Structure 1
C-alpha cells in the first residue's frame, strides 16, 4: 500500500463481479449519471430543532454515513491505476456567502459517532466558513466525496457532467429545498456518479440507506 495515501483496500479483480463493467464504463464508454429522489427529512428537522443544531450538519452526517456504508461509493484508483476501496471517505461540502453570493468548499473528517462528527463540522465552518474562494479550507484529503445544497430550489431533476473528461469515481450528492407535504417534510436529493463505480442497483441502495439513516436519526 502506498504510504502517501490514506488507507485503502485493493480490489481482487479475479473475484470482483463488476470487473468487466468497471473496465467497460471506464475505458470503452466513459459515462456517468444523475438520479434524483425525494427524501423524507422530517426526523432530521425534528432532531435539529429539538437540539438547536444546524440542519445542514445533521443532513451531512446522514449522507456521510450512507456513503461510508457502501463500497461502491468509496471507489478509487491506486497509483498503478487499479481499482481499490477507501477505508473511509470524508465530506467536501459547500457553504454560501451572503455578502457576494459565491460559495466555497470546506471539508471535515467523517466519524461514525454523530456528536464527534458534528463537532468536526461546526469547527470547520467556524474556522474556515468566512474564507472566500473555491477552496476555503486547505489540506483536502485524497479520500473525499462531494456534497452541496441549493436551498433555493425544490427541484425534481438534476444533471451534471464532466466536460471532456472521464466521470469522477467519487459520488456527488446535491440537495435542494425541503417542503412540507401531507404533514411531512420532503427534500430532493441527487446522486451523481460514474457508471464505472455504480449501477442503477447501487444507486437504489444508496437512496434506500440514506432514507433509513434520515429516519433512524441519530445513531
Structure 2
C-alpha cells in the first residue's frame, strides 16, 4: 500500500522541486557501522550473517519515512513497507538481481530469502524477469571482498523512482569491534543528510537490540 504526499503542503516542496531538476540528484556517504552483535549471533546460531545484517538494514530503512518515499510520474508517494532487491552471487562469478520479501520476523525473512537464493544458484543471467517491477524496494548489494570507503553506483537517469541504494563491504576488526562499511546513496529530492543520520541511528538500535 502507498499514500500520495501532497506537495503543496509538504515542508520540503521547494527542496523537492530544486533537486528534481538536477541531472544527478543523488548524494551518498559511507559509514563504518559496528555489526559485532549481529556477527556473533550469526556465528553462534550458525546462520547467515549476510541475511541477518540485511534484515537489520531493512528494519532501519522501514522505520524512517523518507526512505519509503518514491517519485512516480509527477507524484510523490510513501509506501507502507519496502523490501530489498539484492544481488546474489553464483559459483561462476556472475550475479543475479533477486527480490526478498521483507518480514519483521527475522526467521520468516531468512527462510524466505534462503529459498530465493537457492533458486538463483541454478539460473543464469541478471534475473530481471523475476523482479516484481515495483518501486517499493531498496537496491542492496554486498561486496564482502573490499573494505571500501566510498562507492559510486550505476544510475539510469530519469528512471530511478528515488529508490535508495545501500551496499555493504568487507567486515573488518578495529578496537575489538567488527565493523562493516555501509554505503548509502539517496535522492536529494526526497531526503537530506538528516534522514540518513536517522537511518544510521535506527540501524545502530536494531543491531544492538538482539
TM-score by length of 1: 0.88
What residue in structure 2 maps to residue 24 of structure 1? 18
Equivalent residues in 2 for 1:60-75 (5 A)?
60-75=54-69
Gaps of 5+ in 2: none
Is 1:59–2:50 an aligned residue pair? Answer: no
Distance in 1 (CA, whole Å) between partners of 2:179 and 2:202 is: 16
Gaps of 5+ in 1: 1-6
Distance in 1 (CA, whole Å) between partners of 2:90 and 2:37 is: 28
Is 1:209–2:202 an aligned residue pair? Answer: yes
Q: How many residues align?
A: 209
1:112 alignment partner, SS class: coil
Instruction: Give per-residue Cα distances to partners, 1:66-97, cap 9 Å, x unaligned.
Output: 11111111112345x21010111110011112
What residue in structure 2 maps to residue 151 of structure 1? 144
- The structure-2 alpha-carbon separation of the partners of 1:138 and 1:161, relative to structure 1 and needing over 3 Å to count, comes to closer
1:187 alignment partner, SS class: strand
Q: Please give the root-mean-square deviation of Cα atoms over the aligned residues, in Å.
A: 1.9
> Is the Cα contact below 8 Å between 1:32 and 1:161 reproduced in 2?
no
Distance in 2 (CA, whole Å) between partners of 1:72 and 1:115 is: 27
2:15 alignment partner, SS class: helix
What residue in structure 2 maps to residue 40 of structure 1? 34
Deviation at 1:128, TM superposition (A): 2.6
> Is the Cα contact below 8 Å between 1:13 and 1:19 reproduced in 2?
yes
Instruction: Give per-residue Cα distances to partners, 1:97-148, cap 9 Å, x unaligned.
Output: 222x121111111111111111111121122333221126714240211110
- The structure-2 alpha-carbon separation of the partners of 1:121 and 1:35, relative to structure 1 and needing over 3 Å to count, comes to same
Deviation at 1:182, TM superposition (A): 1.6
What residue in structure 2 maps to residue 4 of structure 1? none
Is 1:180–2:164 an aligned residue pair? Answer: no
Distance in 1 (CA, whole Å) between partners of 2:24 and 2:16 is: 10
